[in-house]
Structure 1
């Protein structure tokens, strides 16, 4: 069975985006950017919600062709384009960049994908992750906590019907006081 990980940048008060879907507070250091790039390279399949898909697909497909693109940005752009992706949305009709669109029940499709062959999967986007979280499908949670309080926005965690126990697997500190914590779901 494939492992499913929910990994996102998050504020200290638990938001992945500030009001208005602002992500400008989570600009990574070079070291953290490389960590994210290596994670993309190791991901067998990325599962995207519509909002984050639109954000990523509006920049990364051509980021390596932009004036002043750094070697790290060029590498990430290539890795992102090459990584297989599934986009879950009922409001868009097409996707590009090594992705396929799923318009039906995301939980049923995630269950099918987890049972299939292939490398580890990442789920990105709060709404999609919330559905997988409520269904008990997420095996690992990675929070990359930035030292900022946003006071509102899109929360990393959704409301659950009951408690979920987690076991700490890893902690790591990045420049700027950014702290990575990785937890495994205990079932």
Structure 2
């Protein structure tokens, strides 16, 4: 059975909004590039899919934007090529190497986990809450940035149950970012 890993950047106060001012550094970009490249599929809801597509989809002319340096280009190439599953009842279409699934997200993820292949990587803010509540998330992988945002959407806000975690791995980066991986307990 494939594992489902919820992977996201967060601040010390749990803010996981992309506009919280989480400055990427070389180590965190390399970390996420490796995770995305090794995933069997990326799972997103409508909002996260649209946000990631607008930032990281290869332009029609094939040339990456001038603002991208080497680290951003490596990440963009990995995420652009990765298979994606978009769980949305409202999105009209998904064509960025993506399958659009309008069925119940919980049942869809149960089926995906039973299929052979590499682990699934889950992103976003709202969809992960439903999947953690349903007991489908096996691991949380957090890049905790040394920053207090003070506002914005927070990590797993609205969970209906307490979720015990076991620290599996921890890695500090030179920038002060700490990568932590937790196994979800019973």
TM value normalised by structure 2: 0.92
Distance 2:163 2:24 in 1: 29
Aligned-residue offset at 1:174: 1.4
Is contact 2:20–2:152 with CA below 8 Å preserved after alignment? no
What is the alpha-carbon distance in structure 2 between the residues aligned to residue 185 and residue 174 of structure 1?
Answer: 24
1:127 corresponds to 2:129: no
Number of paired residues? 183
Which of the two has greater helix per residue?
Answer: 1
Q: What is the DSSP-based 3-state SS (H/G/I as helix, E as strand, rest coil) of the residue aligned with 1:94?
A: coil
TM-superposed CA distance for 1:171, in Å, is: 0.9
Over the residues paired in the alignment, what is the CA RMSD in angstroms?
Answer: 1.6
Q: Distance in 2 between matches of 1:162 and 1:130?
A: 10
- Whole-Å separation in 2 of the counterparts to 1:67 and 1:11: 28
Structure 2 stretches lacking a partner, 5+ long: none
In the alignment, the residues of structure 1 paired with residue 23 and residue 46 of structure 2 have an alpha-carbon distance, to the nearest angstrom, of 21
Higher strand proportion: 1
Instruction: Give runs of aligned pairs for residues 99-138 of structure 1, distance below 5 A.
Output: 99-138=98-137
- Would you say the 8 A contact 1:2–1:118 is kept in 2? yes
**8 Å CA contact retained: 1:29, 1:175:** no
What residue number does 2:58 align with?
62
Find the aligned partners of 2:66 and 2:109 in 1 and give their Cα distance: 38
- SS of the residue 1:16 aligns to: coil
Question: Normalising by the residue count of structure 1, what TM-score does the alignment of the two structures yield?
Answer: 0.91
